[in-house]
A and B are shown apart, each in its own frame.
Chain A
Amino acid sequence: MTILSEVGRGLIYAGDTPLALTIAVEQTWPMQLTVRAGSFTSTGQARIRPYDPPIHAALLASGKGELLADGKRIRGWIQDKTGAPRDIAKRYTLAADRTIALTSDPTRPVAYAVDLLGQGAAADVFVKRRIVGVDLFGSPPPGWKALHGLVYEFILPPGLTDVASVEVFVLTVTPGFPPGTGSDDWTTQTGGA
């Protein structure tokens, strides 16, 4: 199995957001993936503004905003109509490794994908499997919400016994911006899909 991350297919820069990921995916047996323990931090929903102490002091004091590392800008969490932050960045921890056994179908291709789930501060993985053209992926178990795709959909050909030849794209988060760019360069993004 070739585990990859490319721009547009799993590789993402965090930009000005708190997005972070230390959870890794490895192939550990011919038909097995292992998701290593780690954490995932969501972006939340915020606006970035130049820091103006007279204006933003109350925002910081109330926890509805936070200063960025450069000390010149503030991240203000978007508020709902009651004034409460709608979605603050949150860290979810996958406490232990998870192993995923892959099984092919003798006659039909099988699709797999893996999502990160969250419940409270805990993270877990949700393995999705379907027979191509026959099944649909299932839904997360009750009480868990889908946080992010971790392993993007890949196909196992019929009868496959070793996934070494299969390309799998996984989520990878890199801090900051691509070299030579800044936040102003990424308000409009285009790409192939």
Chain B
Amino acid sequence: MAVLDILGIPDNTSITQAAMDMDAGGLAQIIFADPAATPASGELGRSGSTLYYRITDARTATTTRALGIIADTTGTPAASIGVGMLFQAESADEAPADFGALDFVASDIGAGTEDTYASVLLRVAGRALDEKYRLSSTAGDGFAALLTHAVTADRTYTLPDETGAILTDTGHNVAAAIHGLPASVNVLGNRDAAGEFVQRATTDPAALAGASTFYTGGAISPTFAVAFSTTPYVAWGGITDAFIMGAMVFSVTTTGFSYRMFGTTDTQDASGGRFIALGV
């Protein structure tokens, strides 16, 4: 097929015109030659495989949008109206084959309340392009995500199929966030290298101060009201005297136990202690 000249102008002819609209009603394609150089400012041209539109201005710290795409409507716009760009290459059986699309879509087209989102559409298993990622604004305040990486291998992050918060570096060191615990619930302890759970607590003062003499009395051996079938757990406490420091429970059996109190004076009222035994 012969290549027809535009308006009868021979190939490789330069036309210089200060202002010109070209309205070729039957124009089907524009064919760009490859001068192997990028076009000058204001020019549209091919260099190698790439088509360029170049604009050169005097800005230093602003962004110039060198290319614009408009897809407006003669109808009445509604939410989900958008504009996008299709990217195609070739697959085994399709030429061209859709590889991806980038759409910008309105979620709100109200006057003065417009919200839009960017949608990345990709193919999965040969199916048609489908939205896989969406970066959306949220009613004006917006959402910003910066994804940077310098990895040497693929990294996969699978997000749960639920709505929730993702910890940030202002939130990751919060115990409640780590453990998922409600307020007023505390966790004490850590695991050591061998997997053994180790309890640890900080006491105040850190070191015992002064020298105290401790007194202890004879062993007391209460019996249970009813015998247990297995040796129960026994805890002792409840004494009100401020000088009784505690008691050591020992010799626990199915029928009773022994305990020995100790304190800082030897004349205190040691009565009133209580025990609880748990067993079957």
A residues neighboring B (CB under 8 Å): 7-17, 19, 43-48, 75, 78, 111, 132, 148-149, 152-153, 171, 173, 177-178, 181, 186-193
B86 an interface residue at 8 Å Cβ cutoff?
no
Residue in B219, B220, B255, B273 with the greatest tally of chain A CB atoms within 10 Å: B255
> Chain A's nearest CB lies how many Å from the CB of B228?
7
Size bracket, chain B contacts = 20 to 34
B256 an interface residue at 8 Å Cβ cutoff?
yes
> Chain A's nearest CB lies how many Å from the CB of B186?
25
> Chain B's nearest CB lies how many Å from the CB of A26?
20
Is there an interface contact between A8 and B228, defined as CB atoms closer than 8 Å? no
Is there an interface contact between B275 and A12, defined as CB atoms closer than 8 Å? no
Residue in A11, A12, A153 with the greatest tally of chain B CB atoms within 10 Å: A12
The residues of B that contact A43 with a CB separation of less than 8 Å are 227-229, 254-255
A7, B275: Cα distance in complex, Å: 14
B259 an interface residue at 8 Å Cβ cutoff?
yes
Cβ < 8 Å to A, chain B residues 225-280? 225-232, 236, 253-256, 259, 272-280
B47 an interface residue at 8 Å Cβ cutoff?
no
Is there an interface contact between B229 and A193, defined as CB atoms closer than 8 Å? no
Is there an interface contact between A190 and B226, defined as CB atoms closer than 8 Å? no
Contact A11-B223, Cβ < 8 Å, known A187-B279, A193-B236: yes
CB 8 Å contact bits of B206-232 with A (1 = contact, 0 = none): 000000000000111111111111111
> Chain A's nearest CB lies how many Å from the CB of B248?
12
B222 contact from A9, A148, A177, Cβ within 8 A: A9
> Chain B's nearest CB lies how many Å from the CB of A78?
6
The residues of A that contact B225 with a CB separation of less than 8 Å are 7-8, 11-13, 178, 186, 189, 191
The residues of A that contact B236 with a CB separation of less than 8 Å are 193
The residues of B that contact A149 with a CB separation of less than 8 Å are 221, 223, 256
Contact A188-B277, Cβ < 8 Å, known A12-B256, A15-B229, A16-B229: yes
Listed by A's residue number, 30 A-B pairs whose Cβ atoms lie within 8 Å are A7-B225, A8-B223, A8-B225, A9-B223, A11-B225, A12-B224, A12-B255, A14-B227, A15-B228, A17-B228, A17-B254, A45-B229, A46-B229, A47-B280, A111-B218, A148-B253, A149-B223, A153-B218, A153-B221, A178-B226, A181-B226, A187-B278, A189-B225, A189-B276, A190-B275, A190-B276, A192-B222, A192-B272, A192-B273, A193-B273
